[in-house]
Amino acid sequence: MGETINILVVDDEKGIREGCRRILASEGYSVDVGVNGKEGLELAKAKQYDLILVDLMMPVMGGIELMEELRRFDSEVIMIVVTGFATIETAVDAMRHGAYDYIPKPFTPDQLLVVVNRGLEKRRLSQQTLRLMEERDQKLLEVANEKSKLHTIVISIADGILVINREHQLVLWNPAAIKMLGLRGGLEAGSEINRIIPQKDLVGVIDKGFSPDSSQYTVISEEIILPPPDKKTIMVNVSRVRDEAGRDFGVVATLNDITTLKEINEIKSQFVTMVTHELRAPLSAIEGYLSAYLTGAAGSDPKMYQQMMERARQRAHSLLELINDLLQYSRLESKSVTRKKEHLDISEIIVNTVELFKVQGSAKDIRFELNIPDSFPLIEADRSEMEQLFTNLISNAIKYNVKNGRMIVDARPEGHFLHISVSDTGIGIDEESLPCVFDEFYRVCGPETRYVTGTGLGLSIVKKIVESHFGQIKVESELGKGTTFTVMLPIKQNKG
C-alpha cells in the first residue's frame, strides 16, 4: 500500500455518501464518491483504490453487478457491502461476489471505522504476503541464475574438476575431468568414486583430502601417472570444501594435465647434462696438457711440449666450435629469432660453399660433382641460414668420406619444392643410428668416426633451419657405400 490510502464510496444515498466521506477523511484517508454502480466503476478504472464501500441497492448498476465488474480487473481490492437489509442471505450472497465484509445501515462512525480498518488491515497483510512472494520468486530466480552461471563456468574450465561429498560420492564434475580420466558412460551424481574412477592412485589422493589431519587450508598436491595407453602425468590438487556454517561438505579435486611440461623439463635436463658432458671432456684434456707443461711431467723434450700445446690448441678450437654451434642452436630455438627472408637463388650459395671445401676435399682426393640446372627457381629464405645448412651437409660429406671418394650435389625442382641432395661415397651410417643423426650431440661411434672431430650439433641445426623454412629433410644411407641427405624447400617463384 502506498502512503495515502484511497477509499471509494459508491452509494445512491447522499447522506450515506457524504457521511462516510467525512468520517473517513477525518481519519486521514483520501475519499472519492460515486452515485451509482456505473459511476463507481468508471472511478475505479481510473484510479487504484485500496478499499471500496458498495451499496447493494442502487439504480443503473446494482452493488452485486458492480462487485463482479470490479473483481474482473482488481483481484486485490477490499470490497465492503453497505446494506439496508442485513440478512444472512444477503451477506452470504455479497461474500460470494467477492465482498470482504458488510456493514448494515444505519451505522455509527465507530462501527464504520471498525469494519473499514479491519478491511484495510487485511489489505495490508495480503499485500505484504504478495511482496514477500515476489521477493522469494526473485531470489529463487537469482539463485537459479547463479547456479547456471556456476555450472557454465565449471563446464568451461580446462582443468578437470571433481567434487566429492563426505560419503565419497561424486557430486559435481566437468567434461575436462571425464576426458582426462577417460571415464565412459553416463556418470550419475551420487556414484561412489571407488566404483567409477578406475585410477586407484587418484582415489588414493582424494582419500587423503578426507583424512582428519587435512585442515580447511591444506591442499594436497600429488602427481599421478595414468596407466597406459594414456600415460599422462596429472597434477592433482585436493582441498576441503565447507558450507557456510563451516560444516565439512567434502573435497574438490582439480586435475591438471602436465604431461607436456614434464616432457619439456625432461628434454631440458637431458640437454643440460649433454652440454656439460660435451664441455667437460675437451676442457679437462686442456687442463691436463697445461698441468703437464707447468709441472714438467712430460720430461725434458721440448718437442713433446710443442705437441701437447698443439693438441691443447686443437681441443680449445673444437671447444670454441661447440660453443658457436650451441649459440647457433639456441638462437634457432628461441622464438624471437629474426630471419631476414629474401628471394634467393641458392644455386649460387651451393656453388660458393662447395668452393670453400675444395682444399679440405683435395686432402682426401675427393671429386666434387655439381648438377644444377641453368634455370633455377627462387626460394624465400634467410641467406646466412642457407649458407650454414649447406656448409654442414657438405662438411659432413667430406668428413665422413673415404680417400678418392666423391661428393655430389644435385638440385632440381619437383612440384612446388626444390630438391637438393648432397651425396657422398663415404663410410655410410648404420640402420640403427640413422634415425638419430638429427638429434642434438648425436655422433655415430665407430672405428671410422673415432678420429673425426665434431660436436654432433651440425645436423640438428640443419633440421631446425629446414623446418623454419617450411621444408623437409630426409636421409638415406648404406654402410660402406655412402650417404645422401635431401633437403626439400618450397619454391617461391620462377626465375626470369
CA 290, CA 313: separation in Å to the nearest integer? 11
Determine phi and psi for 438, rounding to 5 degrees. -90, -5
97 or 443: whose CB is closer to ligand ATP? 443
Indicate which single residue of 163, 252, 437, 466 sits in contact with ligand ATP (rule: CB under 6 A).
437
Q: Which stretch binds ligand ATP (CB under 6 A): 47-55, 212-220, 395-403, 413-421?
A: 395-403
Q: Which stretch binds ligand ATP (CB under 6 A): 3-11, 14-22, 159-167, 423-431?
A: 423-431
Binding-site string for Mg ion from residue 402 to residue 441, where x marks contact by CB under 5 A and - marks none? ----------------------------------------
361 or 426: whose CB is closer to ligand ATP? 426
Considering the rule CB under 6 A, would residue 457 count as an interface residue with ligand ATP? yes
Q: Which stretch binds ligand ATP (CB under 6 A): 67-75, 146-154, 199-207, 437-445?
A: 437-445
Considering the rule CB under 6 A, would residue 426 count as an interface residue with ligand ATP? yes
Considering the rule CB under 5 A, would residue 396 count as an interface residue with Mg ion? yes
CA 422, CA 208: separation in Å to the nearest integer? 61
* Smallest separation, CB 451 to ligand ATP (Å): 12
256 or 318: whose CB is closer to ligand ATP? 318
Considering the rule CB under 6 A, would residue 427 count as an interface residue with ligand ATP? yes
Considering the rule CB under 6 A, would residue 400 count as an interface residue with ligand ATP? yes
Dihedral in degrees, nearest 10, Cα atoms 287, 293, 298, 299? -170
Give me the residues paired with residue 472 across strands: 488
172 or 475: whose CB is closer to Mg ion? 475
Q: Which stretch binds Mg ion (CB under 5 A): 80-88, 238-246, 450-458, 472-480?
A: 450-458
Number of amino acids touching Mg ion (CB under 5 A): 2
**Given the rule CB under 6 A, which residues bind ligand ATP?**
325, 392, 396-397, 400, 424, 426-429, 437, 442-444, 449, 454-460, 483
